[in-house]
Amino acid sequence: PDALAGSCVIVTGGASGIGRAIVDAVVAHGGKAIVWDIQDAALRDCAARHGDAVTVVKVNVADSAAVRSAAAALPDGFAPTHLVNNAGIIGKLMPLAELEAEEIDRVLSINLKSVLYCTRAFLNHRAPHPYASIVNLSSIAARTGGMPGNALYATTKGAIASLTRAAAKELAPEVRVNALAPGIIDTPIQADSLGDRAKLAEIAKVIPLQRVGVAEEVAAAALWLLSGASAYVTATIVDVAGGR
């Protein structure tokens, strides 16, 4: 129950879906969380649910200057010891031949550059911790190529896997760096594909565990990577994908 006592975890995109479940798990296990997201109402809800255990800030993680100032302005008692780079979007489904430069910039900024910005900010402001670690959200799309029309998303998630291994080497032994590679998890990001129950049944058929996952199942793996229980694990990508 106190696996994260003495830890303070920055969770980007922590107002919804997997990030929200990670924040809940961090607090339930005795830690504090710094939640960076862009959704006002969901941030207020997070603050109301967790009180003093969290500090929520509206930050667009794709904006390097905004991330820098958010990290410099953390309240007393919230020096970060851990980071979860979770914020991300799927982007518009588009054939490669039609990809617009604007959409390329948008998805690379939100999914990939944000991870570099937040990692840099964390390293410049972190408080040392015996189990300091960074957890990045990759995806099984990094290996499978993802959905047709979604090469951009798969590209960012593949780059996050590479960045995870590179950062793990560079930051050892002080900070461990690992990634999670979820399969299909029932969160708002998947609303379009999972809203249709018939389609959901089709998707479940190709997953060995015969169902899509839930955010709490990804949060459980994140909790392990954040805690001392994974003290000898770094540079690893952990699938949470029902065997897919």
Residue 62, interface with ligand NAD (CB under 6 A)? yes
Q: Which residues, 6+ apart, have CB-to-CB distance to 23 below 8 Å?
A: 9, 11, 14, 33, 35, 46, 50, 54
Whole-number Å distance between alpha carbons of 11 and 42: 14
Least CB distance to ligand NAD at residue 193 (A): 9
Least CB distance to ligand NAD at residue 212 (A): 7
Give the CA angle between residues 92, 21, 229 to the nearest 5°.
Answer: 120
What phi and psi, each to the nearest 5 degrees, are found at residue 38? Answer: -115, 0
The answer to whether the peptide bond before residue 173 is cis (omega within 30 degrees of 0) is yes
153 classed as catalytic: yes
Q: What is the DSSP letter of 210?
A: S
Among 9, 19, 115, 163, binds ligand NAD (CB under 6 A): 19
Among 119, 133, 187, 234, binds ligand NAD (CB under 6 A): 187
Least CB distance to ligand NAD at residue 2 (A): 26
Residue 15, interface with ligand NAD (CB under 6 A)? yes
Among 86, 164, 178, 230, binds ligand NAD (CB under 6 A): 86
Binding site for ligand NAD (CB under 6 A): 12-13, 15-19, 36-39, 60-62, 86-89, 110, 137, 139, 182, 184-185, 187-190
